[in-house]
Amino acid sequence: MKHTFVRKKSLERYNCNYKEVDWFEYSEEEQQAVRQTRKIKARASPPKIKKLNDERSRKYFRWLLQNNFTSSDYHITLTFKRELTREQAQKDFANYIKRIRRLYDKAGAELKYLYVCEDRKSNVRLHYHIVMSGGVPRDDIERK
């Protein structure tokens, strides 16, 4: 008779509203394999590892978003008019954030932001999606 175990893995912090919980079912053999010393590294399956890392990254991003931002905060999409290299786009984005940070400092508000850069699709220009804390009028942010 095989025994199976259930393990709970959660992503949470003290005093947060949003929590992600995963339940894993595994066998007794898998539990014993984890407790053994590590063998010589075999060739890992890169697509499988990449998918797992992407999944964890998205989950952590969702957790950060839910616990740090509200419906009164801003969602901004910045798209470049012309084709740029990724390095030039990162430089321009950093300059934009510096201008926004000065605007928030002048208003006495705290700037919190999360961003994602998208450029994977061949027919879409490089662009940034930003979620930014409120506290400054939207018109001032649009002028920057």
Task: For residue 30, give the H/E element and its range.
Answer: helix 28-35
pLDDT of residue 107: 92
Give the burial string for 20-30 (b: 16+ CB within 10 Å, else e): eeeeeeeeeee
The Cβ of residue 54 has, within 10 Å, a number of other Cβ atoms equal to 10
In this predicted model, what pLDDT tens digit does every residue of 33-59 receive, in sequence order?
777 787 776 776 688 888 888 888 998
If the chain, 144 residues long, is cut into consecutive pieces of 10 residues, what is the mean pLDDT of each piece? 70 72 76 74 75 88 89 91 86 94 93 88 82 90 85
The Cβ of residue 140 has, within 10 Å, a number of other Cβ atoms equal to 13
